[in-house]
């Protein structure tokens, strides 16, 4: 049975956005939709939520229709008692798109959401127009992690109770420290940012979900050999100061994916779409715009 968190009707950071619900086999997905134009699906990373994309809403919705979900088990989506494997998230995205009547879309994913995006594109190639991978999870994720904090979690992931306990005892101070691991400019981590992340992290079932997700993270490697067959035009964006997945990981991903472009953004960490939104949004819009022009020329 799904564990459903108490959900707001709107967001402090953008009261005009309404939180909507979509039902899939495993539970209910919380999401927002805004804008008009070709559909884009934005996928957050491990421990992330819809608010990670708050600085893309205005810039991208002027030209595109944005669908931004909380992944199953995260944010205000249900937390069913299942194993949170990469295949679960891939199937969640397929059902979510079906429920909303979205046959094809561009996928934009950050960190784990980026890994889900490229794995989904390999599994369901006819449903993906373009890919934007932002500091995305690579196929060999365990070996790629350089951050001491996350490497410790990966080391204990085979012990579910210990993993859950380590996550469940998080305080506001621990949440702040975790944010400093993914954001280069600590001045951006205000009390308001810490508080909203802390509130969501304390929702019942979150520790269990995060522990399970980390435990199965390296299963994304099963898709690694197929990366060379990826045909969706792909933009890879990387924060130059990413301490979680260093730039070298982005370069390897770029070398593995045909027809891909790599843009490195200075003075930015693991979530450049939030930390350096102007540069990130410009890169995304230019990439998507160039793809549209190319499609027109080939018709």
Provide the pLDDT for residue 146.
Answer: 64
Q: Is the pLDDT of residue 9 over 80?
A: no
- The whole-number pLDDT of residue 145 equals 67
Q: Is the pLDDT of residue 150 over 70?
A: no
Q: What is the pLDDT confidence band of residue 299, given thresholds at 50, 70 and 90?
A: very low
298, pLDDT greater than 60: no
**Residue 147 to residue 111: CA distance in whole angstroms:** 13
68 with 31: CB under 8 angstroms?
yes
Query: Of 207, 234, 197, whose CA–CA distance to 12 is shortest?
Result: 197
Mean pLDDT, residues 64-71: 98
Lowest-confidence segment of 6-15, 28-37, 225-234 by average pLDDT: 6-15
Round the average pLDDT of the chain to a whole number and report it. 88
Over residues 164-189, the pLDDT tens digits come to 555 666 788 888 988 988 999 999 99
HEC secondary structure over 33-46: EECCCCEEEEECCC
287 close to 130: Cβ distance less than 8 angstroms: yes
Burial of 30 (0-12, 13-18, 19+ CB in 10 A): buried
Q: How far is CA 161 from the centre of its chain?
A: 26
Closest alpha carbon to 212 in 73, 65, 40? 73
Q: Do residues 50 and 68 touch, judged by C-beta distance below 8 A?
A: yes
Q: What is the CATH number of domain 10-298?
A: 3.40.50.1820
In the predicted model, is pLDDT for residue 242 greater than 50? yes
Whether the per-residue pLDDT at 1 is higher than 50: the answer is: no
> What sign has the CA pseudo-torsion 249, 255, 259, 261?
positive
pLDDT at 153 over 90: no
Domain borders along the chain are 10-298
Q: Which residues contact 235 (CB under 8 A, 6 or more apart)?
A: 130, 131, 132, 133, 260, 261, 263, 283, 284, 287
Which of 43, 39, 14 is CA-nearest to residue 31? 43
Cα 6–Cα 7–Cα 8 angle in degrees, nearest 5: 130
């Amino acid at each position: 049975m799904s564990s459903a968190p108490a959900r707001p009707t709107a967001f402090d950071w953008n009261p005009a956005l309404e939180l909507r619900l979509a039902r899939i086999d495993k539970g209910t997905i919380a999401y927002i939709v805004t804008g008009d134009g070709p559909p884009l699906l934005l996928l957050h990373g491990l421990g992330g939520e819809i608010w990670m994309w708050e600085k893309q809403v205005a810039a991208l919705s002027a030209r595109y229709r944005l669908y931004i979900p909380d992944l199953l088990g995260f944010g205000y989506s249900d937390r069913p008692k299942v194993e949170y494997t990469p295949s679960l998230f891939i199937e969640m995205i397929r059902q979510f798109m079906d429920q909303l009547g979205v046959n094809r879309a561009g996928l934009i994913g950050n960190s784990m959401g980026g890994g889900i995006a490229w794995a989904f594109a390999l599994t369901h190639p006819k449903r993906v127009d373009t890919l934007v991978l932002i500091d995305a999870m690579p196929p060999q994720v365990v070996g790629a992690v350089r951050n001491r904090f996350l490497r410790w979690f990966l080391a204990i992931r085979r012990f579910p109770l210990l993993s859950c306990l380590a996550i469940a005892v998080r305080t506001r101070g621990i949440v702040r420290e975790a944010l400093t691991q993914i954001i280069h400019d600590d001045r951006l981590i205000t009390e308001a940012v810490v508080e909203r992340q802390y509130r969501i992290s304390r929702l019942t079932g979150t520790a269990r979900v995060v522990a399970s997700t980390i435990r199965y993270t390296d299963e994304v490697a099963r898709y690694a050999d197929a990366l060379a067959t990826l045909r969706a035009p792909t933009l890879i964006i990387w924060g130059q100061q990413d301490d979680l997945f260093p730039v070298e990981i982005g370069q390897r991903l770029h070398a593995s994916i045909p027809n891909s472009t790599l843009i490195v953004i200075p003075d930015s960490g693991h979530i450049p779409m939030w930390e350096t939104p102007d540069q990130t949004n410009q890169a995304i819009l230019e990439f998507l715009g160039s793809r549209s022009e190319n499609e027109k020329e080939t018709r």
